[in-house]
Amino acid sequence: MFCLQRGWRGKGLVVLAGIIPLVACRRVPFPPRGDSAAVVVVAPRTDAAGPPRVMEQEPNDSPEQAQLLAINADWPVVSVVGSLSGTGAGAGRDVDVFKLMVPGGRAGADKPAPSPDSSSSDDPRSLARRLTLEIAAEAGVGLSLQLLDDRLKLLETVTVDVGEAAGMPNMAVLPGHLYFFRVKAVAKPAKSAEPIVTSKYKLTVQLGDFEAGDEREPNDGTESAEAVTISGTVELAGFHGWQHDQDFYRIPAPEVPSALDVELDAVEGVTAGLQVLDGSGARIAVGRGRRGERVGLHNVTAPVATTDAGAAARFFYVVVRSESGQNRTQRYVLHLGIGAPKSDSEIEPNDNPAKATLIHDGVLTGFLPVGDVDYFRYSGEGQREVNIEFATPAHVRAKLDVIRQSNGQTIASAEARKAREPVTLSKIPTLGEPLLLRLSQGKGDGNPDESYSLKISSTVLAASKAGATNSSPALNPD
């Protein structure tokens, strides 16, 4: 289990600004944005010496010829200056391969990974060291950087355009194991008339240690998900390390009906998303924010554990996604909480009629993150006239539709012209059957932090009035 103490909420989180020496540095506060926690980055001193520099040595175009990089405790960082002479496709394409034997560590580093079907939360990554890679394409064409383990299994790949940098900020590597770094030029189209050029790059490799609660890559699928145990609340930290990075966290399914709250703090320059998946990988709930803003999912129904069953019935997953953008220096903070379902709130998932939350007269609350839609099913006894008021928070323009469940006909609609403006519909006849309420918002709207309120009241129709209502055509106030 990787969790941060609750005291970290709202406080600075220490992160690395790129690849830098672990000595002679100063701390610079990064100001908070909106609801996100204040962040601390570590910036290099202008008078600090740079990391040891190594020149690439040919031939090194295969794992058998890989150039060995030496890292020790005194200098756990090295910078490689290299070039690729053949940037076309086929036999003329140059490839540079480097290798690193990870020093240090503790006994038991060769402990095998637990099966996804196992109820154990043990993970060999708890013994791992943190490998940080950064590649800068300084001239020529774009490059790709691959990380492979000692069995030449591909662990991760990042690409970078000329004049830019990319990297992997938090790869988990086991002490005593060999790892390979492969640098390749991005292939040109086969019929390209451009001459083959020399591509120059700088590859920086740094070893460090993880802190409690740090995400440990690779964890981009259910098979490689990090095991997390939640007892009440837990906080995790990770990186949107590259474009479309996604981090999977595996959570034991509770034995009693429970609801999950998930909140993801904002990270500069990243549009983030959240998903909750069941043990088979099917989506339960999805949320997405705007660039540089928080994302949240609330009162999400957690799958209940089934005894004597496989992983699909004993676990579920929370996924953090980088929908667009990346940030290798500022960590995200993921807040997870699990407990009894809230009776006065929407129950996710409720984004289609089949999963509508059952409601009666009274007041309920819910959330509408970007792109979210919530359905409710009202089933008051007998023939009634229903009054509905839908009030939304900042950044949400309310839309309310009432739909006849029997035939899918929209019988009433209302829409706010501005955020926070409530909308109301009055004297909607039930005709003795359930009504569906569809709550949505204007395009691009969303607020994961402030809840909306849905107020329902009704009156029973007298027999004579009910008969008149049944004989009258449905009316749409709009």
Spatial distance between the Cα atoms of 39 and 351, rounded to a whole number of angstroms = 34
| Domain containing residue 306: CATH number | 2.60.120.380
pLDDT at 334 over 80: yes
Instruction: Answer yes or no: do 61 and 178 share one domain.
Output: yes
Alpha-carbon gap, residue 233 to 231, rounded angstroms:
6
- Residue 264 vs residue 45, higher pLDDT: 264
Domain membership flag for residue 395: yes
Separation between Cα atoms, residue 208 and residue 104, nearest integer Å: 11
Query: Does residue 380 sit in the same domain as residue 254?
Result: no
Under the banding of pLDDT at 50, 70 and 90, the label for residue 75 is confident
Q: What is the pLDDT of residues 87-120, one digit of tens each?
A: 545 445 789 999 999 987 544 444 444 444 444 4
Question: Is 9 inside any structural domain?
Answer: no
Residue at a domain's end among 208, 234, 261: 208
Give the Cα separation of 448 and 295 in Å (integer): 6
Interatomic CA distance for residues 335 and 239, integer angstroms: 14
Single out the residue in 339, 366, 401 at which a domain terminates: 339
The 10s digit of each residue's pLDDT in 300-309 is 999 998 766 6
pLDDT at 141: 87
Is 257 part of any domain?
A: yes
Please check whether residue 124 lies inside any domain of the structure.
Answer: yes
Q: Taking the model in full, what pTM does it have?
A: 0.80
Nearest CA-CA partner of 157 in 144, 169, 166: 144
138-150 residue pLDDT tens:
988 899 999 999 9
Residue 64 CA to its chain's centroid (Å): 37
Domain range for 245: 226-339
Which pairs from 224-227 meet CB under 8 Å and 24+ separation? 224/248, 225/116, 225/249, 225/250, 225/317, 226/2, 226/123, 226/125, 226/250, 227/1, 227/114, 227/120, 227/121, 227/122, 227/123
Is residue 230 domain-shared with residue 320, that is, in the same domain? Answer: yes
Distance CA 33, CA 14 (A): 16
Instruction: Report the pLDDT averaged over residues 389-397.
Output: 96
- In a shared domain, residues 119 and 154: yes
Q: Is 476 among the domain residues?
A: no
Distance of CA 263 to the CA centre of its chain: 10
**Which contiguous run of DSSP H or E holds residue 468?**
helix 463-471
User: What band does 12 get if pLDDT is binned at 50, 70 and 90?
Assistant: very low
Residues 141 and 172 both lie in one domain: yes
302 with 422, same domain: the answer is: no
Please report the pLDDT score of residue 322 as a whole number. Answer: 96
DSSP 348-393: B--SSGGGPEEE-SEEEEEEE-BT--EEEEE--SSSEEEEEEEE--
- Which of the four pLDDT bands, split at 50, 70 and 90, describes residue 469? low
In the chain, the number of structural domains is 3
The average confidence (pLDDT) of the chain is: 82
241-294 residue pLDDT tens: 999 999 999 999 999 999 999 999 999 999 999 999 999 899 999 999 899 999
Q: What is the rounded CA–CA span in Å between residue 9 and residue 200? A: 42
Residues 191, 70 within the same domain: yes
Task: Inform me whether the pLDDT recorded for 202 exceeds 50.
Answer: yes
Is 182 among the domain residues? yes
Place of tokens 């055509």: 473
Does residue 164 share a domain with residue 291?
Answer: no
Check whether residue 194 and residue 294 sit in a common domain: no
Percent of the chain with pLDDT strictly greater than 90: 65
**Are 331 and 386 within one domain?**
no
- The reported pLDDT for the residue numbered 477 is 46
Q: Which of 180-194, 317-331, 450-464 has the highest mean pLDDT?
A: 317-331
On whether both 175 and 247 belong to a single domain, the answer is no
Q: Is residue 324 part of a domain?
A: yes
Q: Which of 283, 314, 339 is the last residue of a domain?
A: 339
Say whether both 321 and 371 belong to one domain. no
14 within some domain: no
